[in-house]
Structure 1
Amino acid sequence: MNTTFLTAAVLLFVAVVMSCQTAWVWWNGRHGAAAKRMAARLESLTAGSTSRREALSILKARRLGAATPLARALPWLHSLDAWLMQSGLPWSLGRLCASCAAFGLAVLAGASLANLPLAVALSGALAGALLPVLHVRRHRARRLRHFERQLPEVCDMLGRALRAGHAFSSAIDMAGTEFPEPAGGEFRTTFDEINYGVSLNDALCGLANRMPVRDLRYLVIAVLIQRETGGNLAELFDSIAWLVRERFKLFDKVRVLSAEGKLSAWVLGMLPIGSAAIINFVNPDFLDPFWNDPVGIRLLDGIVISMICGALWIRRIVRIRV
């Protein structure tokens, strides 16, 4: 056999093996298990996740890169993504948009099959498209409210930890370990950011940005001022815990006093609908002019608009901010 042919075959074999090895190393470094764990870990720290679990790769998929054309064209997508993350739901922006489109199209198809007017079909489709947004909004409000209720106990634990001789970062770690979600996850993320080199001021500001709770912002501002001027940080946490609890007591009193107004709003809002349903059940022909006569349709439009304005006005009256 020719020596040149053997040399070429050996070199070709070595080149193929080295190419396969290079491709494997590149793929494992970019998409391997270790690379995914590292990317999820870093993303959980920069994006503000709510737990230390390793399976956080979903956060990487849902975060928007600042250099993407879509993010440059629509800067409000970052705020929408942060709003979605504050709800605690494992949803991405794509899933939210797809859910809105699916609900809207489903309602529109149902209205088309029922031969409803175009205006009614479009109104129903719009209401159906808003259902996922309302679902996310409800979860976000409930999560923020739960965090706000946990804040006095968190302040008490931070104060006790400081009195026991722990450093402030260790006290944050204890709060993240002892408390359930959402307070535990947020304080764990803050502690991880501090461990990875983020300054304490930036980590606390990131915590306040991730959880837009008024009392938490007061806490962060007080801690930042105390770090500049000095003072007893444990007594500061005790004072903030007492202040938050007193605010909750006042809020509960206001809620009790405004309960009558809220009940009146529900009764006044549901009374016309309930009366119309009973009349339509007892005498179906009595309300036919509302559906068939043009004057009745205009009156019905005016009634609906008046009811909406009245409900919004009553809500504004009975909703007292504390």
Structure 2
Amino acid sequence: MLSGAAFMVLALLSLAGVGWPLLAERRRQQTDIDRRLGLATAVVAQRRAALLVPDAVAPLLAQAQLEVTARALKGFAAGLALTALVALLAAGPVAALAVVVGVPLGLLGWVRRRAQRRVEALIEALPYYIDAVRQMQAVGNSLAQALERALGDAPAIVQSAIAPVARRLELGASVADAMQVLAERLRVPEISMLAAVIRTNMRYGGSISAVLLNLSNILRERIRIKRELKAAISEAKISGRVLIVMPLVAMAALVAMNPSYVDFFLNDPRGHQLAIVATGLQGLGMLAMRRVMRLAF
């Protein structure tokens, strides 16, 4: 059964490698048609990205600031298929299936960590960018001009995140629409707050400078509270990790002092069942501890 599943996965990868050039050629033809109709390059690139990236993964890639191109995806699929084939010939179907499942999961974990780091850096730098926008407005710039000109002295993480807004403003989009598109693309609460503030001010009027000042203070307060929460739960995290490791250390110590202790779990059917139950309970305990210690603010 496992061998059949492994060969089925390899067959699907081979079909994907054959069909992908056809899809890429169709996308290139659609891009040529768009260019002939006079569409902007940024709009064409956005449309191509929407075709390549599913909606469930798009926010994560946007937060990580990674762009998936047809060439990169085709190269990854070919490399994965080749690696799985080598693992199948060298170590059997189990190793091939492990490669097919493990490599994408490892890549997904790396993308998640990168996205988390970049979002945290963006949140840290966002209040300073908002202050720069207020200062630009104080010397007579419009909100659109202030958003663009404040990027010159902004940190690199803010420049890369807000750059799509500046491009849309150059193409004639309104400030509210440009910020709303960015908020929907990144799905970061702080960016959504900034977009909501601008959209509300554009609709109902008022002093945008005062509103931006209040938003900057709110974001700084959120950052301060988040740091305090991290400091407060650091002790709980260490205690949880100790509790997770203690059963494993105790088991290793018992085996070192009495190697025959594990014979019951290896040779007796009742030991097999108890070992599975113990491993499952240990795994559930680890997941529960991680869930309790997870900071969500």
CA change 1:123–1:300 in 2 (3 A) is farther
Q: 2:176 touches 2:202 (CA, 8 Å); kept in 1?
A: no
Indicate which of 258, 268, 283 corresponds to 1:293.
268
Alignment of 1:169-180 (within 5 A): 169-180=144-155
CA change 1:310–1:96 in 2 (3 A) is farther
Residue of structure 1 in register with 2:278 after alignment: 303
Worse-superposed segment, 271-280 or 96-105 = 96-105
Q: 2:236 touches 2:293 (CA, 8 Å); kept in 1?
A: yes
Residue of structure 2 in register with 1:162 after alignment: 137
Indicate which of 45, 64, 77 corresponds to 2:54.
77
CA change 1:279–1:127 in 2 (3 A) is farther
Residue of structure 2 in register with 1:88 after alignment: 65
Residue of structure 2 in register with 1:18 after alignment: none
CA distance in 2, matches of 1:257, 1:171: 38
1:242 paired to 2:248: no
1:229 paired to 2:216: no
AA aligned opposite 1:158: V
Offset of residue 199 of structure 1: 2.4
AA aligned opposite 2:218: L
Give the TM-score taking structure 2 as reference length. 0.73
* Secondary structure of 1:77 counterpart: coil
Alignment of 1:97-108 (within 5 A): 98=77, 101=80, 105=84
Alignment of 1:200-219 (within 5 A): 200-219=175-194
CA distance in 1, matches of 2:246, 2:87: 29
Indicate which of 64, 73, 81 corresponds to 2:51.
64
AA aligned opposite 1:193: R
CA change 1:288–1:84 in 2 (3 A) is farther
CA change 1:314–1:155 in 2 (3 A) is same
AA aligned opposite 2:222: R
CA RMSD of aligned residues (A): 3.8
Offset of residue 98 of structure 1: 2.9
Deviations 1:195-227 (A, max 9, x none): 112222221111112221112211111111111
Deviations 1:144-172 (A, max 9, x none): 12111111111111111111111111111
1:275 paired to 2:245: no
Structure 2 portions without partners, runs of 5+? 1-30
Residue of structure 2 in register with 1:191 after alignment: 166
* Secondary structure of 2:215 counterpart: helix
Deviations 1:111-140 (A, max 9, x none): 946x9xx6x996786445411111111111
CA distance in 1, matches of 2:203, 2:42: 31
Q: What count of residue pairs does the alignment treat as equivalent? A: 263
AA aligned opposite 2:51: L
1:220 paired to 2:195: yes
CA change 1:296–1:246 in 2 (3 A) is same
Offset of residue 237 of structure 1: 1.2
CA distance in 2, matches of 1:100, 1:294: 42
AA aligned opposite 2:276: D
Q: 1:100 touches 1:130 (CA, 8 Å); kept in 2?
A: no
Structure 1 portions without partners, runs of 5+? 1-28, 48-59, 66-75
CA change 1:169–1:39 in 2 (3 A) is closer
Offset of residue 308 of structure 1: 2.4
CA distance in 1, matches of 2:67, 2:144: 28
CA distance in 1, matches of 2:289, 2:54: 33
CA distance in 2, matches of 1:99, 1:84: 21
CA distance in 1, matches of 2:203, 2:112: 37
Larger helix share, 1 or 2 = 2
Residue of structure 2 in register with 1:143 after alignment: 118
Structure whose CA Rg is larger: 1
CA change 1:279–1:175 in 2 (3 A) is farther
